[in-house]
Each structure stands twice: as structure tokens, then as C-alpha cells.
Structure 1
Amino acid sequence: MKEPAHHIILDAISQSASDIHFHPTPNEVEIHFRINGQRHLYKKIALTKYKVILAYFKYTGKLDIGESRLPQQGSLSFEENKLSYSLRISTLPANSLESLAIRILPQKDIQSLHELFLFPNQFKQVRKCLKNKSGIILLTGPTGSGKTTTLYAILKSFMEDNNYQTITLEDPVEKSFAQAVQVQINPESGLTYDEGLKAALRHDPDIIMVGEIRDQSTAEFVFRAAYTGHLVLSTLHAKDTFGTILRLLDMGIKKLELEQSLLAVASLELLPLQLRKFKNQRAAIIELLEGEILSEAINKQLSPLTAIDFQKLRRKAFAYGYISEENCF
């Protein structure tokens, strides 16, 4: 059933979708595309057709076709018109039939950092943070907020300005980046984050990038990596900057460790632009905690009154005509 699956991927790419969701219902399967952060119904297909498509993606994504009781994840490459894409395949047991989600990751050139931000002064703030030689810079936000894209753009910015030895530890590797040594974490084969760090340190790195903090053990690992005197970049799912502090504390990271190692927390939100020349584009705004404001948030565990929040930034974007009123609040 290559052709129907192929057409679905092509249609998703043509509509600039970031994700495809196959949602089984008792009588049929709904297919949704996520476009600019919004979920749109693409079409409905019969259950029999979906089972064949599901089997195709599980096979090509190197998942266990016979396993339907446990979640699985895999990946595969997709090429069209000389453009390459990485497809992240994820299945989830749902009632009597598995749900399928596919994330589409274009393997195009990594964007420059200044292209990502709506306001130039925020780009300058992030660049300032990059001048530190050691410590942790965290990019946070919900799924689809552009954390990984921004993370790669930061690495690209580093490499343009400095001849840094950069090593990434990722699970999985999201995008090919020739200027960095990219390590695919594989716990099943014994290559854990800790083992990867030990090996990375023998390569004399200037920068260590950890793809994502998913749990307490990964959080502890990131802070251990910072103790080695290197600059560490990573991402974390959190609503905003202050929520990031609370999440790290909840993960068991001590207040003293935060003060000693955490340089900055940048929480991202993508805004759909309404100006005609930016049609179907989004740009990032950031809440940034650093310096004394970050220390205040860590010690008082209160959101600092001096911090700029997303609501103020959205109002500013609306005042400049970048976004519509419905996206302002």
C-alpha cells in the first residue's frame, strides 16, 4: 500500500504540515494535518485501508509489525523533488486499534538565528547568552514551538562566529548538521547519555548539545555535563520560563545547582504572521530569564515582575500589524 501512504505524505508536505495524525474511530479513521500549530481534518478512510497503511509505515519505519499492545517509535527517510525529509513514526495502542502519528522534519539548510525571531532585539539577547563559555542554556516551550529548530540555529550561529568543537547527544538525531559530531543515543546497545558524555569529553568539546530533557535522569545528566566546564544546550517541555524553573526543581535539581549552572532560560512561542509577504509563515517570540532576574526566579520561586511575558509580546506584535487580533490574547 505504498501509493496511498505516499500520497498522504506528499499532500502533508504540500500544505506545510508538521505532523500527520491517524485517529481511529469505531467506523473509520480520521487523518489530521497540523499546520502552523493548528490541527485540520484532511480526510477520512476505511478501517481496512488504514490497517494496510499502518502496516506499511511500521514495516518501513523498522517497527515490530506484530506488536500492537505497546507504543513504538521509528523513523524513515522520504525524498521528493530532490528535497529530503525525515519522518518520525510513532504508534500508540488505542482501544482495539493502534493510533499512528508522523512528524515531518525537512532536512533543508538550517535557518540563520536572525530569521527565526519576530523582534531583532530578542535575537540580540539570545546572541549575548551565547558568549558564555560554560553553563546551561535551555530552550523551552510546548510541542511544535520551534525548540529544536532554534537549537540547531544557535549551533549554526556558533559555528559561523567561532571554530568550536561541537558534539550533540540526541535521541533521535533530528537533523543532519555536518559541522557538529552528532551522536545517536541508543540505550539498547549500551550507548546511554552517560556513556555518550564520557566519550564526548574525550573529544575535547567546546559545546555539548543534548536533544531534550525528558525525565529526571536526563535533567541530572545535563547538569553533570555542565559541571565539566562546558557550554551545554538543551530543550525542555514547559509552558513558560518560570514553569521551567518549577519543572527542574520538581525533577530533583537543587536550587544551588540551578544557581551555579543555569545561564538562561528562553521559552519560545510561534506566532502565525498575517502580513501578506509572510503568508503561511511563523516567527518566534521569547520570554527570557537570565542574570539577576533568573536568580530571583530561582530563589523566590516566583515569576519576576520585571520579566517580559508572552502576553506583552503578543500585544506588541499586534500593534505592529504582524498578527491578527485573535492571536493577540
Structure 2
Amino acid sequence: MKTLEEQLEALISLAISDYANDIHIQCNDPIVSIAFRGLHGLKAINCISLTPQFIEYCKFKANCDSSIYSIPQTGRFEMLIDNKLILIRFSIIETFHAKSVALRILNGVSISNFARLTHDNQAIVQLNELSEITAGLILFSGATGSGKTTTMLTFLKNLKNKRIYTLEDPIEQLHSQFMQLQINEHRGLTYSNGLAHLLRHDPDVIVLGEIRSEQEAKVAISAAYTGHLVCCSVHASSAFLTLGRMLDLQASTYDLLAIVRAVVYQQLVVDVQTKSRSAIYDILDQEQVKTLLLSA
């Protein structure tokens, strides 16, 4: 049997080679099941065996408290895989009968073009055209797990000669070409003062990882009014309801008319032949956004 460190290294290496961002581990002692989530969806992994002690080892590496079982915990650790430093976020939920672990590889999988996300050539053209927008708000929306953050980051990586700063809670994927700030309200770094700090650094593009609250919506709107390009992700079930979600978060119709330049809504569908998933998009330009808002 491999050592715990060897088990972890083999697991992370396999996930990276399989283009997976997330590793899910379920332990119902003594049974440990593994699944990867990536571009092809969630799939069970049976070629690696982990011992029940493996989870406690991960808690140790992530600097979590091994004596606590009643509340969820989150931590981070790093590993050297094939001479590359891999950063991993660790999250655990424990009950009396079971343990659930999620490992997020923050910098293992790189997607640099839209052709790897979708087979829709018209959508690829539209997404590339969005790079001509230099000011205002672009909203990337979809359901949980639809890949909206991946689409947004791919869009940002294709921008040329831009200073890109992000405010995220938490940071979903690490990218060396962005300046990424982790929100930490306990230490005084909020979305509001984080925006104030990064505006002093002359950004071309400001990114809010996800809009979940009225405060975050307010910060996104304020940032867009500064004349910068602002990109955000939002949970919504259609392109039209993306605007409705912003209204629910107390954004005014006036503000949305003034600053929203595009809405990129996406869903993931399964290709029957390849058994892989790809994105289908519904993209609204500024005129379509205005028409929907004025007719609502």
C-alpha cells in the first residue's frame, strides 16, 4: 500500500491529466469513493484506492483542526507535481456516519480558447467580439456548475495588453496574468474597500468573482460607473432572468440601462456521441438588454 503522501500525489496527478478541477471524496468507513468533475461532468474513479486515514492526512496538510468534527472546515495546501507547484483548496463536512471532502485544484487545468468550451461557432464569434468592449458591465450567468466562471476567465485570458484585477470570495482558479485579491472581511478586506484599493492601481478590467448579495451588486455597479470594464458572474436560469436577478438585488433599471453592455448566459449539454459536455450560449448585446429592460 502506498503512503498517504503517495496516495495524494497519485490522486492529484490523475485529476490534472484528466482535466478535472474538482475531486470529490466520500468516506463511509471503511468504503472510500472518489469522483472527478471537469469538462466531461462528474465521473467515478475506480483506478485509485484510498485508505480512510487519507482524509485525516489531508486535514493535517490543509492546516485544519483534526479535533473538530461538528462544523465544516476549509483550508489550503500546495504540492509539487511534475515540477509544477499545484495549489489545492480543501473543504470537509463530517457527520456521525460519513465524511465528504472536496479538493479544488486552483491552478492545474488551463483553458485558453472558446473552442474547448463550445461547438457553437456563432457563439465563439460573439464572445470574441465582446473583447472590443472597454467600459461597462458584462454579466456571465448560468446555474451552479454550468461553467460560467470558466467562460469568464477564458474571456479575460484572451484580452490583450490589459491590467486585470479580481475581487473573489473564494478564488476559484489561480491565473498568473491576473492580480487576484481574496476577500477577507474578518481582516477588513471587503468588496467595497477592495475596490477602492485596486482603483489606485490603474486597472483596465475589474472582476468580481460572483454577485450574491445587494452589497456585491452595488460594488459592481459603482465599479462600472468609473469607466472601467467590469466582469461578474451571477446565478440565473436564463439570460432574461439574469437582469431580473440584478433587479432583485436592488440594482435599478436606470443603472442597468446605463452600464450593462452584454449578458452571457450558458448551459452545459451532453454530446451523445462523445459523452462529453459542451456549453450552449444565449448572448444579449447592449441593445437587446435595453429592449428587455424597457419592456419588462
Q: Report the TM-score, using the length of structure 2 for normalisation.
A: 0.84
**Aligned match of 2:229:** 231
Does the CA-based 8 Å contact 1:272-1:282 persist in structure 2? yes
**Aligned letter for 1:77?**
E
CA distance in 2, matches of 1:184, 1:106: 15
**Aligned match of 1:315:** none
CA change 1:86–1:239 in 2 (3 A) is farther
Judge which range, 244-253 or 168-177, deviates more: 168-177
**Aligned letter for 2:223?**
A
CA change 1:14–1:230 in 2 (3 A) is closer
Q: Is 2:23 aligned against 1:20?
A: yes
Given candidates 181, 200, 203, the residue that maps to 1:202 is: 200
In the TM superposition, residue 96 of structure 1 has moved relative to its aligned partner by 4.8
In the TM superposition, residue 82 of structure 1 has moved relative to its aligned partner by 3.5
Q: For 2:45, what is the secondary structure of its paired residue?
A: strand
In the TM superposition, residue 270 of structure 1 has moved relative to its aligned partner by 3.7
What do residues 235-280 of structure 1 show as CA deviations (whole Å, max 9, x unaligned)?
A: 12223212322222222222222222221110123445567xxx68
Q: Is 2:281 aligned against 1:286?
A: yes
**Aligned match of 1:191:** 189
CA change 1:129–1:9 in 2 (3 A) is closer
CA distance in 2, matches of 1:254, 1:93: 42
In the TM superposition, residue 282 of structure 1 has moved relative to its aligned partner by 4.8
**Aligned match of 1:118:** 119
CA distance in 1, matches of 2:276, 2:47: 27
**Aligned letter for 2:288?**
I
User: Residues 235-250 of structure 1: matches in 2 within 5 Å?
Assistant: 235-250=233-248
Does the CA-based 8 Å contact 1:27-1:46 persist in structure 2? no
CA change 1:228–1:87 in 2 (3 A) is same
Does the CA-based 8 Å contact 1:83-1:108 persist in structure 2? no
In the TM superposition, residue 218 of structure 1 has moved relative to its aligned partner by 1.7
What do residues 159-206 of structure 1 show as CA deviations (whole Å, max 9, x unaligned)?
A: 2xxx33322222333444343333232222211111110011111222
Does the CA-based 8 Å contact 1:164-1:207 persist in structure 2? yes
Q: For 1:78, what is the secondary structure of its paired residue?
A: strand
CA distance in 2, matches of 1:280, 1:8: 23
Does the CA-based 8 Å contact 1:28-1:44 persist in structure 2? no
**Aligned match of 1:91:** 92
Q: Is 2:292 aligned against 1:297?
A: yes
**Aligned match of 1:157:** 158
Q: For 2:104, what is the secondary structure of its paired residue?
A: strand
**Aligned match of 1:311:** none
CA distance in 2, matches of 1:176, 1:256: 35
Q: For 2:87, what is the secondary structure of its paired residue?
A: strand
What do residues 259-316 of structure 1 show as CA deviations (whole Å, max 9, x unaligned)?
A: 22221110123445567xxx68654321112223222333444xxxxxxxxxxxxxxx
Does the CA-based 8 Å contact 1:71-1:93 persist in structure 2? yes
Q: Is 2:125 aligned against 1:130?
A: no
CA change 1:77–1:298 in 2 (3 A) is farther
CA change 1:201–1:38 in 2 (3 A) is closer
In the TM superposition, residue 116 of structure 1 has moved relative to its aligned partner by 3.6
Q: For 2:189, what is the secondary structure of its paired residue?
A: coil
**Aligned match of 2:145:** 144
CA distance in 1, matches of 2:54, 2:237: 35
**Aligned letter for 1:288?**
I
CA change 1:119–1:16 in 2 (3 A) is same
**Aligned letter for 2:37?**
R
CA distance in 2, matches of 1:109, 1:17: 10
CA change 1:29–1:299 in 2 (3 A) is farther
Larger relative contact order (CA 8 Å, sep ≥ 6) = 2
Does the CA-based 8 Å contact 1:166-1:206 persist in structure 2? yes
Q: For 1:220, what is the secondary structure of its paired residue?
A: helix
Judge which range, 239-248 or 188-197, deviates more: 239-248
CA change 1:282–1:43 in 2 (3 A) is closer
**Aligned match of 1:180:** 178
**Aligned match of 1:4:** 7
CA change 1:83–1:23 in 2 (3 A) is same
Q: For 2:158, what is the secondary structure of its paired residue?
A: helix
Q: How many residues align?
A: 293
CA distance in 2, matches of 1:172, 1:115: 25
**Aligned match of 2:60:** 59
Q: For 2:159, what is the secondary structure of its paired residue?
A: helix
